[in-house]
Structure 1
């Protein structure tokens, strides 16, 4: 038997442990994981000597822009950014222009992405104007419905009755509801005069209240996924709900995990996020929650902007929140692993196994026969410096500029094809796949 490809010489991550082994790939799937002597012959061999062979890493929270926001990012540049960052699959948020909240909008977005993406891409949707239209969106393979309680998407007012209805439909279709948990009325009641005061207006109390409200409104028992939580107290509510057998998960971002509010003073608008950066106590609390296993996912919240149009403005309310994150997430997390702050098992769970499980991404998140040959090869001894000028993203800025990192992705593979190696993209647009979630309703 001769297969298409063998990855050999590395240490393969299989269900929580590392093994000196190789991976045989045929027709885009893993067919065998074994010692080199027991692997079949192959048309092509990839030398993974000195590298960890991890299941393809998944970023379940990205904003790929394109369409009316293509000046910030497009499907090709965004997925090239993912590829060099060691990410094999991404899930795209719906707050686009036009918003992804109708059957027509979702189909157009999928079609536009089809011949442009380099890695695998799936899509979320926002609640449509007509509540009964949500199921039609979900039948097309959306991976979840996003409820942004701070900035409702597409002009749909998320009143408690509407939220309950959306959660009921999500429960019926067995898909997650993703929550941006900030009480907008608590945020709006303040009158900030500058960006720092605006960040302070987004209080932890507003986040915690929103988390508590959604858990109370979830009478249907829908799967809830809280995006980019910033405080240990919010995560404690999630943990309490889990103990009551409520299906709820949560994520944190590298910027909330590693940057404090002082970064906003240092970097200005490029370090402004929603929810914002917090104080040192919150940062330490998040790190402890991640290390303990209370956090399910680390996601980048890749949110690229054109700094000249979106960041360099005087009115703090017009500053676009977010920064590009696809090229820094894996190096930052692996640096935490090399420093002993997070175990490798936790890192792989949060960036591969758990996203695949939570969002129902089939045949992803593990290195074993029958799974797609999506692999991320990491050199845990390789060091580097974050340089936004070298980003593949259109957005060439980052509050992590100049940070030293150790543990870098060097080869990214999707379906057994090498998409990127050591910062260079070898794939063409269209080599990534459009992912669709199976409809259960």
Structure 2
């Protein structure tokens, strides 16, 4: 296949020309693609061609949570958002905490996906399965200290050290949702005795201090074991300072942030109620500013969606009972492209944060760049089109978003997996199962 009449993004500059694809790989970037022989020639109509996005933090749900989302609807949502590879989280039902559960999940995903999916796992009860799950190709292990689901007690430092050392020996990172359970419980008990609103109790029991404490604790485990620690959805200036300090003493740490933590504040939570409820919570404008600075100077390594779909019925429960999270696969790219259009973010930085950096850190293969020999996972974008976000049109089963009615600049026209077009002008154009399961060789 040859895609002609494109503006092709490379880190050395934009090439006006096109790209040739054979057997799923980019074989040629050319200023004169018409000279290349091909079975199929597509006209890019002058749109910008970028590497497909790699979203390293996605809850695809499925299995017993398929009423919230499944591998097919999530992959359709990803395709619509220009995302060609996702890393799926393990806090599903059943939990992905054993080799058996991991294999079952992979088999289910293989039948339904349109895109590339890699997987996290939770730590297994059998220590020997750490190596087996790594050989099966997981990206790494994920911990939720505020809501642990493993059969082992990782709050016990001796036990945690054994598992973190095993992860280090198998060359996989441990990703942490940084929150401190003891801090949360103490604050919740104290705040519930006061005359506060549910939102005030929620915000007060998940302060930046809880995030910072967790970062200090797990960075220390990283230092003791040599394990690569990845901190998820960083939300506060205190956390950024803690990460910088730990990196300064040589601990191997990477981290991510989300569009909602970069762009929204707790004022949106007060206005939108449960539909903006997320963990970590939305914080202050000053935190937004600190996160942007950290993103621009390289302390934050990637931007992720933290796509966390729920049913409308669940989100309409009383505030403290409603689950945290909202869909993000279809909003990540347009809201960040809008920052590019407004001159707040360089295009090169956006591509680095959403494609090349997650590819390198999580070793997802020849992805994340438009380069000869790399997988032809690509997205064609009209960077000038203005439109409004309408959650009713989402492919995700979750038809709500804190970005509802946002006016954005930049529209995904086509999404390609291995050179095959899976989405064109908001229409899914490929069958279930065309995507692939990424099994990483560590």
**Aligned length, in residue pairs:** 433
In the other structure, the counterpart of 1:146 is: 142
Paired residues for 1:358-377 under 5 Å:
358-377=361-380
Normalising to structure 2: TM-score of the pair? 0.95
The answer to whether the 8 A contact 2:121-2:140 is kept is yes
Paired residues for 1:269-280 under 5 Å:
269-280=274-285
* Secondary structure of 1:189's aligned partner: helix
The answer to whether the 8 A contact 1:195-1:269 is kept is no
In the other structure, the counterpart of 1:10 is: 6
173, 186, 194: which one pairs with 1:189? 186
Query: Structure 1: which 5+ runs fail to align?
Result: none
Are residues 1:346 and 2:349 paired?
yes
The answer to whether the 8 A contact 1:16-1:345 is kept is no
Are residues 1:170 and 2:167 paired?
yes
Q: What is the Cα deviation at residue 263 of structure 1?
A: 0.8
Paired residues for 1:411-422 under 5 Å:
411-422=414-425
* Secondary structure of 1:79's aligned partner: helix
Q: What is the Cα deviation at residue 315 of structure 1?
A: 6.0
In the other structure, the counterpart of 1:232 is: 237
Farther-moved stretch of structure 1 (41-50 vs 237-246): 237-246
Paired residues for 1:261-300 under 5 Å:
261-300=266-305
List per-residue Cα deviations over 1:324-348 (Å, max 9, x = no partner). Answer: 0000000011111111111111100
Q: Distance in 1 between matches of 2:234 and 2:281?
A: 10
Query: Structure 2: which 5+ runs fail to align?
Result: 193-197
In the other structure, the counterpart of 2:318 is: 314
In the other structure, the counterpart of 2:202 is: 198
Q: Distance in 2 between matches of 1:246 and 1:220?
A: 10
In the other structure, the counterpart of 2:256 is: 251
Q: What is the Cα deviation at residue 199 of structure 1?
A: 2.3
In the other structure, the counterpart of 2:52 is: 56
The answer to whether the 8 A contact 1:84-1:327 is kept is yes
Normalising to structure 1: TM-score of the pair? 0.95
Question: How has the CA–CA distance of structure 1 residues 354 and 108 changed in structure 2, closer, same or farther, with 3 Å as cutoff?
Answer: same
Are residues 1:23 and 2:19 paired?
yes
Are residues 1:393 and 2:396 paired?
yes
Q: What is the Cα deviation at residue 39 of structure 1?
A: 4.5
Farther-moved stretch of structure 1 (40-49 vs 404-413): 40-49
Question: How has the CA–CA distance of structure 1 residues 168 and 331 changed in structure 2, closer, same or farther, with 3 Å as cutoff?
Answer: same
Question: How has the CA–CA distance of structure 1 residues 97 and 240 changed in structure 2, closer, same or farther, with 3 Å as cutoff?
Answer: same
112, 123, 137: which one pairs with 2:119? 123
Question: How has the CA–CA distance of structure 1 residues 217 and 44 changed in structure 2, closer, same or farther, with 3 Å as cutoff?
Answer: same
Q: Distance in 2 between matches of 1:34 and 1:79?
A: 30
Q: What is the Cα deviation at residue 154 of structure 1?
A: 3.5
Q: Distance in 2 between matches of 1:252 and 1:9?
A: 34
